[in-house]
């Protein structure tokens, strides 16, 4: 088992708490509750974001005919993980998950239950190292064929905007022609949402920067 400090709130576990999961600890619940007190719609936001991820993967695997997925900042396993949605469209689909949270690593077996015809892999890596991710993903994905890069609610964890652009550029630049990129990102909004996020960013969890839609 990887070691992790359960007294410090963490993004993946707070996200899991808002989604109604059980893979979280009192520190995550306290940070999640404090956010909810200021911004009561946060559980709904987390669920809607997850629905969007599922809808995007359904579209990519169905209409767009993509058979390979690189899901970076995966989060803790929940219902309808990327491989389950994609392999419903085509059991041969291949999915590589990437996260840097030891708790996600500890639960990664739930992401590795691929259909027999397809394949899944999990890479314990930091988003700030795109080339490491691309190299490790090539063990499972065929980079001669299109890949869908999934960046679902993770880029806010890179506070520096130039660095965020650089990471997205380098990850996207490593994909073959015909590939897709799905990116979702929390945006600044009403004062109570912004205040909740500022408080969260002071909670000890890795900060998540809400950006403008532009």
Ligand X SMILES: C[S@@+](CC[C@H](N)C(=O)[O-])C[C@H]1O[C@@H](n2cnc3c(N)ncnc32)[C@H](O)[C@@H]1O
Q: Which residues bind ligand X (CB under 6 A)?
A: 11-12, 15, 49-50, 53, 73-75, 99-101, 104, 126-128, 152-154, 157, 206
Q: Which is nearer to ligand X, 130 or 146 (CB)?
A: 130
Minimum CB–partner distance for residue 126 and ligand X (Å) = 4
- For 92, the token pair is 């041969």
Q: Which is nearer to ligand X, 135 or 178 (CB)?
A: 135
Which single residue brings its beta carbon nearest to ligand X? Answer: 75
Minimum CB–partner distance for residue 167 and ligand X (Å) = 9
What's the order of all strands across the beta sheet hosting 148-152?
119-124, 94-99, 68-72, 148-152, 180-184
Q: Which is nearer to ligand X, 62 or 207 (CB)?
A: 207
Q: Please, what sign has the CA dihedral across residues 106, 164, 62, 42?
A: positive
Minimum CB–partner distance for residue 155 and ligand X (Å) = 9
Residues in the chain: 214
Q: Which is nearer to ligand X, 45 or 92 (CB)?
A: 45
- Enclosing H/E stretch for 122: strand 119-124
Q: How many CA atoms lie within 13 A of 77 on its CB side?
A: 12
With residues binned 3-state (H G I as helix, E B as strand, rest as coil), the percentages for the chain, rounded to 5, are 45, 15, 45
The residue behind tokens 């509750």 is 33
Cα(78)–Cα(19) distance, rounded to whole angstroms? 9
Q: Which is nearer to ligand X, 21 or 62 (CB)?
A: 21
Minimum CB–partner distance for residue 198 and ligand X (Å) = 17
Minimum CB–partner distance for residue 95 and ligand X (Å) = 13
């Amino acid at each position: 088992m990887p070691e992790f400090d359960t007294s410090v709130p963490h993004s993946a576990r707070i996200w899991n708490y808002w989604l109604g999961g059980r893979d979280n600890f009192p520190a995550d619940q306290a940070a999640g509750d404090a956010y909810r007190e200021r911004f009561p719609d946060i559980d709904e936001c987390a669920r809607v974001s997850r629905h969007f991820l599922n809808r995007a993967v359904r579209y990519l695997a169905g209409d767009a005919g993509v058979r390979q997925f690189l899901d970076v900042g995966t989060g803790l396993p929940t219902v309808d993980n990327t491989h389950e949605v994609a392999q419903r469209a085509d059991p041969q689909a291949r999915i590589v998950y990437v996260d840097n949270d030891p708790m996600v690593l500890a639960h990664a077996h739930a992401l590795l239950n691929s259909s027999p015809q397809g394949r899944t892999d999990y890479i314990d890596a930091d988003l700030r190292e795109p080339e490491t991710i691309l190299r490790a993903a090539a063990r499972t994905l065929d980079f001669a064929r299109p890949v869908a890069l999934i960046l679902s609610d993770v880029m806010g964890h890179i506070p520096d905007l130039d660095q965020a652009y650089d990471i997205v550029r380098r990850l996207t630049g490593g994909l073959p022609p015909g590939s897709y990129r799905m990116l979702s990102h929390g945006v600044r909004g009403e004062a109570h949402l912004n205040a909740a996020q500022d408080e969260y960013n002071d909670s000890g969890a890795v900060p998540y920067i809400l950006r403008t839609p532009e």
